[in-house]
């Protein structure tokens, strides 16, 4: 009678909804703990096989689905997991201190000859407040590496050719065999002689000294959309450092520094404007000319306007980036100025006004909301 197998999730100590990363991390930890080379306990080898068996099933999406539905009987395995579909390079590197495996299913690490994306570049540009609001096109200098104009990026002196590396025979990589408990494992790494290129440049280009690159400054016109703010970035795809081995170029990022405005402040996409009026304007009302982003506009101040009153001018604020026709508002806050110096006529007029208004002091009662807060402990 066959022994009942433990639940594979229980073996690895993970829940049934564990992610692949959780399963891999659990396997790594347990494999280090129970590997026979580091654990002399009598049951260490059996425990290690059980861990491998569980990982072999749960790390494979199809086998895991079959296991979840039918149990161990639904999985076609023979004690040890099928390593042909598993990438063990990261795990074995953690166990033995070397990686880049091929053979027994371990996929080789990416060769140095593989295409590589170029690095990103960045620069900073200063914008006026109006340029940030309405958008602008800026011509920017980008300093980066480009293909050498003499050798065309090959790094070889014109008329000469590179020679095939005798160490790796032009493959760009070398292989070493390691004996492990899983059998022979082949470690693949870049050739130390040619650096993974498969070729050796014996006659380097005199202009670029064999790098295949030269430093250049190019001019690019970059469109900055309306509504950007201080600290925003504009990405220009493919204008960074060139890639290697046929890889794509990196990106260029333009960091924006927006100068403050003489009158306006910004809060999101709303514009804020502080407006000073005198006591007569606040009491009697007035029509005042105020600045906006598009020029001047009339603002009606109704009689009895109190200090701190906010007037909203709809859609007179800042455009929303990449949303045509959508804008914030212009919020005008009124400040009533109290004069500190009066001439004789002004003083006489205010004294007369004061007599008509009386001298009784009115103590403002607390509002219902304030009393309610006291009751509720707010």
DSSP characters for 29-93? HHHHHH-TTT---TTHHHHHHHHHHHHHHHTSHHHHHHHHHH-GGGS--BSB--GGG---HHHHH
* pLDDT score at 77: 46
Q: Is 296 helix (H, G, I), strand (E, B) or coil?
A: strand
Q: Is 292 helix (H, G, I), strand (E, B) or coil?
A: strand
CA distance linking residue 308 with residue 285, whole number of Å: 15
Under a CB-based contact definition with an 8 Å cutoff, are residues 225 and 321 in contact? Answer: yes
Question: In sequence order, what DSSP letters do the residues of 120-156 get, joined into one string?
Answer: PEEEEEEE-HHHHHH-EEEEEEEEEEEE-TTTTTS-B
Strands (DSSP E) contained in the chain are: 101-102, 121-127, 136-147, 163-164, 173-180, 183-190, 199-200, 213-224, 233-236, 252-258, 265-267, 270-278, 286-292, 295-301, 310-313, 330-337
* pLDDT score at 172: 81
Beta-carbon contacts of residue 239 (< 8 Å; ≥ 6 apart): 121, 142, 144, 220, 249, 251, 252
**Is the alpha carbon torsion for 179, 180, 184, 190 positive or negative?**
negative
* pLDDT score at 52: 87
CA distance linking residue 53 with residue 83, whole number of Å: 10
Under a CB-based contact definition with an 8 Å cutoff, are residues 330 and 292 in contact? Answer: yes
**Over the chain (378 residues), what is each successive 10-residue block's mean pLDDT?**
72 91 89 78 85 88 81 57 47 50 44 77 95 96 92 90 88 74 69 82 90 92 95 94 87 96 95 94 94 93 95 95 91 92 87 76 65 66
Task: For the chain, list the domains and their CATH numbers.
Answer: 8-86 (1.10.287.110), 117-147+213-260 (2.60.260.20), 265-357 (2.60.260.20)
| Beta bridge partners of residue 49, listed in sequence order | none
CA distance linking residue 305 with residue 287, whole number of Å: 12
């Amino acid at each position: 009678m066959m022994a009942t197998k433990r639940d594979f999730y229980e073996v690895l100590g993970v829940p049934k909804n564990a992610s692949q990363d959780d399963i891999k991390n659990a396997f790594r930890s347990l494999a280090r703990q129970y590997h026979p080379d580091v654990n002399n306990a009598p049951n260490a080898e059996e425990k290690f096989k059980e861990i491998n068996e569980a990982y072999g099933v749960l790390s494979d999406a199809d086998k895991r689905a079959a296991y979840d539905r039918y149990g161990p009987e639904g999985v076609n395995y023979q004690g040890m997991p099928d390593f042909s579909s598993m990438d063990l390079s990261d795990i074995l590197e953690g166990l033995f201190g070397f990686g880049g495996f091929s053979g027994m299913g371990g996929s080789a690490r990416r060769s140095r000859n593989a295409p590589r994306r170029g690095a990103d570049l960045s620069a900073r540009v200063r914008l006026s407040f109006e340029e940030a609001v309405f958008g602008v096109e800026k011509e920017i200098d980008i300093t980066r590496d480009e293909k050498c104009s003499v050798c065309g990026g090959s790094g070889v002196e014109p008329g000469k050719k590179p020679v095939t590396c005798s160490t790796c025979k032009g493959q760009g990589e070398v292989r070493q065999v390691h004996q492990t408990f899983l059998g022979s494992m082949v470690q693949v790494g870049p050739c130390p002689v040619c650096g993974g290129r498969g070729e050796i440049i014996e006659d380097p280009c005199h202009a670029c000294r064999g790098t295949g690159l030269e430093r250049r400054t190019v001019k690019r016109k970059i469109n900055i959309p309306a509504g950007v703010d201080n600290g925003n970035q504009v990405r220009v795809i493919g204008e960074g450092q060139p890639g290697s081995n046929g890889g794509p170029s990196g990106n260029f990022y333009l960091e924006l520094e927006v100068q403050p405005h003489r009158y306006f402040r910004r809060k999101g996409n709303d514009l804020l404007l502080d407006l000073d009026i005198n006591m007569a304007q606040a009491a009697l009302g007035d029509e005042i000319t105020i600045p906006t982003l598009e020029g001047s506009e009339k603002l009606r101040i109704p009689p009895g306007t109190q200090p701190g009153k906010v007037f909203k001018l709809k859609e007179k604020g800042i455009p929303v980036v990449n949303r045509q026709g959508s804008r914030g508002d212009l919020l005008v806050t009124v400040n009533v100025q109290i004069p500190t110096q009066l001439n004789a006529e002004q003083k006489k007029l205010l004294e007369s006004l004061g007599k008509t208004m009386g001298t009784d002091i009115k103590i403002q009662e607390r509002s219902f909301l304030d009393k309610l807060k006291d009751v509720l402990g707010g």
